Structure 1
Amino acid sequence: MSYSNTPSSAKASLSSENIKLLAVMVPKIPMMLKTTLFHLLRISETSKYLDLSQELTINVVRSFLTPSTKSLFTISATQKFLAKDPGVQGRIWVANYVAPADDGAQKAIVAALEGLVSPASPSAADMLSALKQELPPSAPVEAEWTGYRAGVAKDATLPVGLSQKELYDEMMKEVTAPTTVLYFHGGAYWLMDPATHRPLAQKLAKLTSGRVYNVRYRLSPRHAFPAALIDALVSYLTLLFPPEDAFHEPIKAEHIVFSGDSAGGNLSLSLLQTLFYLKRNNISVFWQGQQLNVPLPGGVALNSPWTDLTHSSPSCDNNALFDYLPAPLSKNYTIDSLRPECEIWPANPPRRSVYVDDHLADHPLVTVLLAESWEGSPPVWICTGWELLADEDKYLACKMRRDGVPVVLEEYEAMPHCFALIFPDSNGARKCLGDWADFINTATGQKQDGEKGEVQSCFKRIKAKTLVEEILEGEEEGGWEKVAPYSEEEIKRRIAERMRRAREEGVTGLVAKL
């Protein structure tokens, strides 16, 4: 990917993608007018909670994401369009670093993949068979070191003529805390890029007085699971045990927080479960010529994490009104299976998911909701809304709390998936970012003169317009038992049923049905 210090020209001629975008926007005008009218008349249910711009944004984005066999955009074209680098502009430092490939990370991931397959799972044999097929190799992993840049204009560009190492050194002159956020961007594992998440990384860096290591992990479908997980482990090892050409000094694990939104939240949790497996089984990792034990990070902070890749939670249907993510077409579907064919999709051999082989969809490193235990985890912060993923996020928080993990769960009334990124200038987003950073500061010891702060477990409900918090104190009030309406047995039953239908129907049957 190329990097530019200057923003793209606003006067660029219309490309074929722009023309296609215009072609799909025009038919949406009646929907937008209806949304506006219903909002102004207070007829729509969401108008009670959202302003007009928020309601329009949700409906327009949902209309783009809703599956359609007539879509003009292929997976490859969409991926390329959303990965464009807009340039680095504003009060932000960005320095690109490429960590070298190392086969030790791949071998550690393979050990966790094999060790965490449940023999009791009906898919266990298929899983093991899939694991023995060719795995993605380790590869160089790019990332953007991101920091806050004070004392410059809002339209400032990066200094000209500096190397990436020199840009990093300039950034570090303004970093006053040891905190490092290891960030994994969202986008369903096949969309987005660290470039799209620069504004968020800049805000987290500013609020923590630290820095963000924003990872450019390999995207599917060209690079299916576990390529992204291998890249995630390489990135963490890079922070802890820097290669010879690295810009930074070794970073203490307690000063690192895994963080991510949506699929990036899933990747954070998958990496954490991998580290649990290595630690519990006393498995070291061969990295840069050394056999090393890998410690756990200081904390994990997640925004709308995607924890169930089988889409089995009831909120996938029940919360469709408040989310831009499209509700399932059927009990066994994939949005992206309806995209036009291109050079990277459909996959060969065919599969439903852009990200993972069908047999591995219920592996606990994929659907992390099925992880047997979170015992020993560092503190965790989870933010969710009234979104399709709400049930799985709330269940995960309850499961973690039962396993003895300090957990803060924040549920924002009527908010869609990753609302703080979708509505970045809203009061709700500012509160969310503030709480997000506050947790990171506490987990890494920046709240009490360098001493590690104590994360107090709680579940918060935050009102949409007033941002008033309703706090349940967990065990004392019995709050955690009320947060998730579904038991562990019910969650497992739903996922098992979804997987059973998937095996019976098959990819060919799904395509023919649609």
Structure 2
Amino acid sequence: MPLHPEIADFVANLQPPEGPLAPAVLRAAEEQQVAPFAERLPLHAVDDTVARTASGGIPVRIYTPVEADAYGLLVYFHGGAFFLGSLETHDHVARSLARETGLKVVSVGFRLAPESAFPAGLDDCHAVVRWAAAEGESLAWDGKTLALAGDSSGGNLVAAVAARAHDDGFDRITHQVLYYPSLDLDFDADRYPSLRENAVGYGLETAGLKPFNAFYTGSGADPADPRVSPIKRADLSGLPPALVVTAEYDPMRDEGELYGRRLREAGVEATVSRYEGANHGFVQNFSRIPEFHQVFTETRDFLRRR
């Protein structure tokens, strides 16, 4: 189907960054788009705190959907090519996840490139997952569901954390949810058909992938390393069940769908769900559109199946 008309209008008026990419400038512009507090989805409680971990003190924002005695937990990693995004810019995503799934959501303010070299951000995400399990009593964790979710580069971190936890023998993670994940930081346009099919005109463009991710790869993140490009991990067996959401008009569509197939081939329960008419970033930018807001109810249903 064609690109959704509301997305098409947005893309038609999108202005590319001028001059060299400057993290501080791009972050400031992104923060200006954050909705005022009064317009945000209300929940029972939203609390900012610091997770005290072996990786140091890590800011987290905890979303409690309703008052209850116990909750499943969902740890959320925001997107932004490893150098953009924050607890604020993705606050609305975390709120929607909490409201629709009924889980208590822990959103992670992990360290960003280039100021913090690889693997700082990955270490932070992994540490908060371990912290959430260790702090289960204070979080009113039900001891059952401990899910991970992330969009774009956050999906990359979900896959990398799930793999690292498996290798460490930490088996408490029950689900992984990857929204249009960036799983292969080798951006050779011949690697996946979608890199050519969706190269231009859909918001995120193939030519922009390498420079946007250069802040991460330039900080020591080697695209050949499975911790950086999780699709390069040789053995995917033993990982948690996965929901991989892709977008029809996303240059990175095919790597996400290949990852889902490889998980299934390794014996992992994996669902791949392509959203027609959507582009990269639709969960963050266009989930107010009813047919795209469905991604949160699909996430809920996936989490409840096990």
**TM norm structure 2:** 0.88
Contact 2:241 2:268 in 1 (8 A): yes
Q: 1:319 corresponds to which residue?
A: 198
Superposition pairs of residues 130-209 of structure 1, within 5 angstroms: 138-148=55-65, 174-175=67-68, 178-209=71-102
The structure whose residues are more often helix, as a share, is 1
* Contact 2:47/2:62 (<8 A) preserved: yes
Which amino acid is 2:139 matched to? H
- Give the ranges of 4+ consecutive aligned residues of structure 1 lying more than 4 Å apart after TM superposition: 83-87
Alignment of 1:214 onto 2:107: yes
In structure 1, C-alpha distance between the alignment counterparts of 2:300 and 2:141, rounded to whole Å: 22
* Residue in 2 that maps onto 1:113: none
Paired amino acid for 1:230: D
Matched with 1:111 is none
1:328 to 200, 204, 207: 207
What residue is the counterpart of 1:370 in the other structure? 232
Match of 1:110 in 2: none
Is this contact kept in 1: 2:117–2:220, CA < 8 A? Answer: no
Deviation at 1:428, TM superposition (A): 2.0
TM-score between the two structures when normalised by the length of structure 1: 0.54
Q: In structure 2, what is the equivalent of residue 88 of structure 1? A: 37
How far off is 1:419 after superposition? 1.5
Q: Which residue of 2 aligns with 1:236?
A: 129
Higher relative contact order (CA 8 A, sep 6+): 2
Distance 1:139 1:370 in 2: 29
Give the secondary structure class of the aligned counterpart of 2:115: coil
Distance 2:221 2:238 in 1: 29
CA contact under 8 A between 2:83 and 2:113: conserved in structure 1? yes
- The equivalent residue for 1:282 is none
Which residue of structure 2 aligns with residue 269 of structure 1? 159
Q: Distance in 2 between matches of 1:211 and 1:242?
A: 13
Rounded Cα–Cα distance in structure 1 between residues aligned with 2:85 and 2:146:
23
Shift of 1:441: 2.3
Q: Deviations over 1:313-358 (max 9, x none)?
A: 33222212463112227xxx7324xxxxxxxxxxxxxxx8201346
Report what 1:97 is aligned to.
49
Structure 2 equivalent of residue 384 of structure 1? 246
Report the CA distance between 1:79 and its aligned residue: 2.0
Aligned-partner Cα distance in 1 for 2:67–2:289:
27
Contact 1:307 1:393 in 2 (8 A): yes
Q: Which ranges of structure 2 fall in alignment gaps of 5 or more residues? A: none
CA distance in 2, matches of 1:359, 1:227: 10
Contact 1:175 1:211 survives alignment (8 Å) = no
Instruction: Output the aligned Cα RMSD.
Output: 2.4
Q: Percent identity?
A: 22
Aligned match of 2:304 in 431, 441, 447?
441
Based on CA coordinates, which of the two structures has the bigger radius of gyration? 1
Name the one with the larger strand percent. Answer: 2
Q: Is the 8 A contact 2:221 2:228 kept in 1?
A: no
Taking the aligned partners of 1:276 and 1:209, their CA distance within structure 2 comes to 26
Q: Which runs of 5+ in 1 are unaligned?
A: 1-47, 103-137, 149-172, 280-293, 337-351, 443-452, 454-514
Q: Does residue 1:355 correspond to 2:216, yes or no?
A: yes
Report the residue type matching 1:325 in the other structure: L
